[in-house]
Amino acid sequence: MSVLISSNYIETVVNDVAVACYLKEWSYIEESLDAKAQNYFGVLIPISLEGKINNENVSLKLMLKLAPTDDRYRVSGAVTAMFAREIFVYSKVFSKYQDLQKCLQSQYIIPKCYYVCKDYCKEALAIQNMCESGYLPFIHSMFLDVDHLIVSLKSLAKFHALSFVMEFKETELFAEHLKQNCTKYIEDVYSSSERNCLCHGDIWKENILYKYEDNKPVSACLIDFQTARISSPAFDVLYLITSSANSKLRQKHFVSLIEIYYSTLLEFFKDANFENVYSHRQLEKDLKTVGPACFIVANTALWLSSGLQQEGHVRSKKILQSEFEIAMAVDNYKAIIKGILDDFIGYGYLPEILS
């Protein structure tokens, strides 16, 4: 999606952010155009906002996330639904998460939310720019290594654990987040799973930032909650490992990665003085339940990340320049999908599709 956002519109949004933050005598600097990062359903713009609160100088490092302002991009309704979900997560869910983990030793990393706008064709989020806090995207290869996967799964486990706790302590808020309309296999995940919680829905390396010490990842920050939904936590777990690890790594570490996720979930429950509501048996059963849906969604994500979707409403960010590059990308994509298919058959995760 090619989204054009005018400088005047950006200034209007920044003014609204400044008002919401009670800033006086404010000014802002927009990063250069080549620093803008566009996702599939909007545009991200890093902003440095300076001002005063009670005569004290304040500096905010923000990431603006803006929806298209042109109706032509809104025909399908996908953009409207996705921004509604993400605004809900940042403005309501994460506020509760912060309260729930105030007294906990273990912490789920949450970017601060400064401003939201829900108005149609003016949807906007202003959140803490985690890159300014040392969290960086993984750009070194198409797939993560085992160290990055481990910190990713630990962060995901904390996200899920807080959702389970919130379900019991904030029942009304939890019920407010309705599951989205989706295809048969994904609907089956919700109706057939042993347990459900608030899931990310699109958790792969493109939606994770990492903090490093001595060149090793020590913490992960999950971002981009436009596809958040009530579903099985097993879907997020399997999707992350499927979409962000190559077959060789999965074959070597799959069991240990599942154990790392589950042990982190239990540790967070214990820290929160919360009973274990999701047994290892339930997780194993749910992994088989979510297999077909996970395979379908991962296939779409990997097609996009391979650069093979060059036309349509949603296009690959990677641009292939020649027929040779396209042919190479197709061969690589086929090899990746074959590896996933072989692995899933080995796990026993695709009985319905294969029957």
**Mean pLDDT within 328-346:** 93
The third-level CATH classification (topology) of the domain covering 7-128 is: Phosphorylase Kinase; domain 1 (3.30.200)
**Mean pLDDT within 232-245:** 96
Least confident of 70-79, 126-135, 175-184, 255-264: 175-184
State the chain's mean pLDDT as an integer: 87
**Token pair for residue 128?**
């803490």
Q: How confident is the model at residue 185 (pLDDT cuts 50, 70, 90)?
A: very low
How open is the CA angle 292-296-301, to the nearest 5 degrees? 145
Class of domain 132-354: alpha beta
- Give yes or no for residue 180 having a pLDDT over 50: no
DSSP state of 135: -
Q: Quick check: pTM over 0.85?
A: yes
The per-residue pLDDT for 60 is 96
DSSP labels, 103-128: T-SS----PPEEEEE-STT--EEEEE
**Mean pLDDT within 134-145:** 92
**Token pair for residue 166?**
């919130």
- Give yes or no for residue 354 having a pLDDT over 80: no
The CA radius of gyration of the chain, in Å to the nearest whole number, is 21
**Mean pLDDT within 182-202:** 71
Instruction: Measure Cα distances from 42 to 5, 121, 124, 222, 307 in Å.
Output: 10, 11, 10, 18, 19
The per-residue pLDDT for 6 is 83
For the chain, what are the domain ranges?
A: 7-128, 132-354
- Give yes or no for residue 256 having a pLDDT over 90: yes
- What are the tens digits of pLDDT across the range 32-73? 644 444 455 678 899 999 999 999 999 999 999 998 877 766
**Mean pLDDT within 95-110:** 94
